Every structure is written in C-alpha cells, then in structure tokens.
Amino acid sequence: MDAALAAFAADGTVTHWNHEAERILGWTTAEAVGRRGLTGWAVRKEDADGIEAALAAAMRSPGRQVHEFALLTKDGRRVLVRTQSSAVRGPGGHIVGVYCAFSEVHTQLDLERSVALAEALFEDASWGVVLIDADLRPAVVNAHAGRILGVGRTAPLGRPLGELLAQGVEELECAVQHVLAEGAPPATAELWVTLRSEGAELPRRCWRSGFVRLASPLAEEPVPLGVAWLFQDVTDTKRAEQESSLLRFRARQLHRAGRAAAECPDPAEAAAVHLDFALAGFADHGLVDLATTPLPAPYGVVAEDDGYDACDACDPCDTGDGAGAAGGTGTPPGSAPGSSPGADAGPGTRHGRPRLVRALASPAGAPGPAERLPATGIPVPYAPRHPVFQAYERRGSVRTGAGPVSPEGWAAARHWPDGTVHGLCVALRSRGRTLGVATFLRTSARRPFDRADADYAEEVAARIAAALDLAGAAALGGAPSAHCR
C-alpha cells in the first residue's frame, strides 16, 4: 500500500510532500512545501494544537508514534488519517525535524483486516487452506490442512501434488490450472482423493473445495501469484448421503420385485424375477442352487468328507468373513454349545455334503433375465470347501474374494463366471429349512461385498426361498428335498 509522506523541520516548516499526500488532501507539492505548520490550510484551527503537540512529542520520543488526526482537504472536506511519526536526526545526532507517514483510516483498516484474515486462515480456520503457486506446488499450508494431509505444515511445501495424493491429483491440478487461466469457478467442487501419507485419517476422502485466483495488487496488470485452495472434509456427510440413497434404491427394488412377482402364475418364475431385480446395481451375476439328497455311501465305507461342518470350509485362498460375515459365531441357532454346526441338519448332512443342483442363473455373457435351468438333477461339482457349503452349513451369508491380486483361474476353480473376483453366498431359508444357496458375484469393476450388502442379499434370499418353497424344491431340483433342513 502506498503511503503519504510529509517531513517537517524543527520549526514546523514543511520540507517534503509526496504524490500520495497530494492525492489524499489535494494540495500540490508546490503549494505545501515551505508552509510553516498545517494550521489554517491542512488542519482546522480547533485541531491544530493537538496535532502540533503530537508532532513535537514525536521529535522528543524514540521510535515511531502512532496517532489518528482529522486533516482538511483543499476543497474543505475532513479526512481521518492514521499517522506514524518519527524524529529525523542530523549528522551530529541532534534532532532536525520529524518525518510523518499517513494514510486514510478506512484504507488502513482494509489492509489490517486483510492481514488479520490471512493470519486467521493460516492459524485458526476450520477449513483447510493451501496456497498453490503457478508451478502447481504448495507454497503455504495452514494448520488444519496439515492435519488433514497428515504431513504437517512444512513438509508439503514445494513438493508436487502427486507426492501428497495417490488418487484425485489429476482433478485437482486441472482445477488449479483452470482457475489460473479463467478465474474462480462459480461454485464449490467435491473432490474424492486418496492420500499417500500413512498419518492420514482415512485413505479415501471427499473434500468440498473452493478456489480463488491470487493476483498482485501492486502490478499494473493482474499477474497471477497462484491459487488459494480452500477445502473441508465432508467424507462422513457424503457417505451418509450415499448410504441413504442406496437404502432408498434397494427398498424401491424390493417393492418393485414384490409387485412384479405377484403377477407371476408360476412361483419359480417369481423367484427368477426376485433375482433379476436384486442384480440391478448390486451384482453382475446371480446363481441359485437347490439342495437334494446326497448319494448313500457303500455299506461299511467311511467317506472322506463324513462329518462335514463349517470348520471344514476354512479355505486359505478365500478372503471371506467366515462366521463374522454371517453375523454370528458360526454355530446355527438352536444348536447346543460345543456341538457341530451340522448336528441337527437332518438326513444326509452328517453322511456327505449336500448335493447342490443349479436351478436359476443369470446370463454369463450379455445381460438378460435370469434363466430357469432344466431339472437334470446333476449337482454342481463344487470343491469340498466351497463358500456355498459354508453358507449352507451356517444358515447365513459368507463373503469371499480373490484379494488385491486376482490369481489366474480363481473364478473357474469355484465354477463361477470368468472375471468374478467377489462372491457372496446366502442360504435360502424357508419354514425352518435350508432349501439351497443363492450366490451373488461381482467383477473387478465393483467393490467387495460388505455387511450392508449381506443384509440386503439375505432379504432377497428370503423372498427367493419363499417362492421356491411354494413352487416345490423337488420340481426344480429334480429330486426329493429330504436334505432341506
């Protein structure tokens, strides 16, 4: 900010008067220099004594003296100014005059407010504030932003944004470049980012961001100094909104599926309708396998998998939640403590795994409605520790996945469509019996199944089981359902 400057000799004669003083008061340098004192032309007579006393005190006091005076302009208006006065010493150290710098109070207040705002933003603000220079590198980071980034205030300075963010850096750099070229956008933006710092609170965050272009007020033409990036973490709010929207969508899907299934004359067709509606926005593939009576073992021969229970299903290559995914300890309801999960399973369970026959399946290629498969009675050749057997024995849901790096043939080994990396198996329960297992599958384009997904799948499975129970498991499975429990 330019300041008006005036100098006075020891006797009060004006010896210096710059252009800013001329702009504020209207008196030219030629008109001001040589006048003795300010009384009668730049100061009212009523105010003259106080101003002259203040200037005289500044000559006798060390350092700068700050005062507020009311001066007169050439056209007779009064202007309130804030002055800083200090003594001027000659070669011998004796005082020869006083130097006075002044500016209009409202201009000074604007400057002070700007400085105070900048200091508050970088110290006490509840928003993160980062100044990014024209090279797209942080120049200043406030305390709140340092905490959110998990690296402090000084570590990010001068580093590329890509060293701070693992994901979302392209969107951020694009926004900063747009602001440098076009100016601030009219509304805030929401950026989903993933932090690289191990000290970050959560790896994936949503930041509501605003951008302001900074330009030097001293340049004749606006020269961008960088961009002020203000952001606030709204991850919890956005996730709550997404969860609420997802719940509304799923409730609507269940309602629509129920209405559509009610118009199906064949209960088996109604089960397929429930499966079709469940896949929308939830999974890429859906399978329904019904249980049938297993073949008896030869007399006197003990089968290798006799006494199959949930403990046999601990496959180290699966990443399922096991009992935790089913929402319990793995022991079926009604079982005595310490008993095997399959102790009350009924005929066939303790003498062999259930034979699961494919009844419904969604198309593995092009999208389309779920298909009812012919009742051949041929079981699906699942491996002994397949997740469907876990879900069947536990009478609940089991989640599984290929892990971060999907091994070759992971889906084929489980007799699931190619590209599957996430699976959710849910027992089909109706009238106190387990009719079979419904399986929902996702490809790598979707996230893994979570607890909320398992709850929704269990609700869908209950409706599918009711429809299949009404249709008769024997009609679809190709064999009596004595194994249902």
Say whether 113 sits in a helix, a strand or coil. Answer: helix
pLDDT of 382 reads: 92
Q: Return the CA Rg of the chain.
A: 40
Spacing of C-alpha 7 from chain mean position: 59
Average pLDDT over residues 209-215: 90
Is residue 170 classed exposed, middle or buried when 0-12, 13-18 and 19+ CB atoms within 10 A define those classes?
exposed
| pLDDT band at 18; cut points 50, 70, 90 | very high
Please report, as a single letter, which amino acid is at residue 429: R
Average pLDDT over residues 189-209: 80
pLDDT of 372 reads: 85
Residue, of 131 and 334, whose pLDDT is higher = 131
Angle between helix 267-279 and 235-262 (nearest 10) = 160
CB atoms within 10 A of CB 441: 25
Which is nearest to 229 in space by CA: 247, 211, 208?
Answer: 211
Whether residue 46 contacts residue 24, with contact meaning beta carbons closer than 8 Å, is answered with no
What is the tens place of the pLDDT at every residue in 221-257? Answer: 667 788 999 999 998 999 999 999 999 999 999 999 9
Tell me the backbone φ, ψ of residue 290, rounded to 5 degrees: -105, 145
Residue, of 404 and 281, whose pLDDT is higher = 281
What is the tens place of the pLDDT at every residue in 120-159? Answer: 777 778 889 999 998 899 999 988 888 888 888 888 898 9
The CA-CA-CA angle for residues 127, 134, 219, to 5°, reads: 100
pLDDT of 342 reads: 37
| pLDDT band at 298; cut points 50, 70, 90 | low
Q: What does pLDDT average to over the chain?
A: 80
Please report, as a single letter, which amino acid is at residue 219: A
Spacing of C-alpha 314 from chain mean position: 35
Is residue 85 classed exposed, middle or buried when 0-12, 13-18 and 19+ CB atoms within 10 A define those classes?
buried
Whether residue 471 contacts residue 439, with contact meaning beta carbons closer than 8 Å, is answered with no
Tell me the backbone φ, ψ of residue 403, rounded to 5 degrees: 90, 180
What pTM value is reported for the model?
0.61
pLDDT of 479 reads: 43
Q: Could you tell me the sign of the dihedral formed by the alpha carbons of 258, 264, 267, 270, in that order?
A: negative
| pLDDT band at 293; cut points 50, 70, 90 | low
DSSP 428-455: EEETTEEEEEEEEEEETTSPPP-HHHHH
Rounded CA-CA distance 144/129 in Å is: 8
Whether residue 322 contacts residue 330, with contact meaning beta carbons closer than 8 Å, is answered with yes
Q: Is the pLDDT of residue 321 over 80?
A: no
pLDDT of 405 reads: 67
Average pLDDT over residues 93-119: 81
pLDDT of 472 reads: 77
pLDDT of 352 reads: 55
Say whether 149 sits in a helix, a strand or coil. Answer: helix
pLDDT of 72 reads: 86
Rounded CA-CA distance 174/227 in Å is: 12
Which is nearest to 99 in space by CA: 63, 69, 68?
Answer: 63
What is the tens place of the pLDDT at every residue in 152-190? Answer: 888 889 899 988 888 899 999 999 999 988 888 889 999
pLDDT of 304 reads: 44
Which is nearest to 476 in space by CA: 272, 259, 279?
Answer: 272
Element (H, E) at 228: strand 224-233
What is the tens place of the pLDDT at every residue in 345-373? Answer: 333 344 457 889 999 999 877 677 888 88
Average pLDDT over residues 7-16: 89
Average pLDDT over residues 426-448: 93
| pLDDT band at 467; cut points 50, 70, 90 | very high
Spacing of C-alpha 123 from chain mean position: 24
Rounded CA-CA distance 485/272 in Å is: 22
Rounded CA-CA distance 277/328 in Å is: 28
DSSP 323-336: GGTTTS-SPPTTPP
Of the given ranges (168-172, 179-183, 279-283, 326-330), which has the lowest mean pLDDT?
Answer: 326-330
Residue, of 482 and 154, whose pLDDT is higher = 154
pLDDT of 199 reads: 52
pLDDT of 450 reads: 92
pLDDT of 464 reads: 95
Say whether 460 sits in a helix, a strand or coil. Answer: helix
Is residue 39 classed exposed, middle or buried when 0-12, 13-18 and 19+ CB atoms within 10 A define those classes?
middle
- Find which of 188-202, 308-322, 335-349 is predicted with most confidence, using mean pLDDT: 188-202
Number of residues that this document lists for the chain: 485
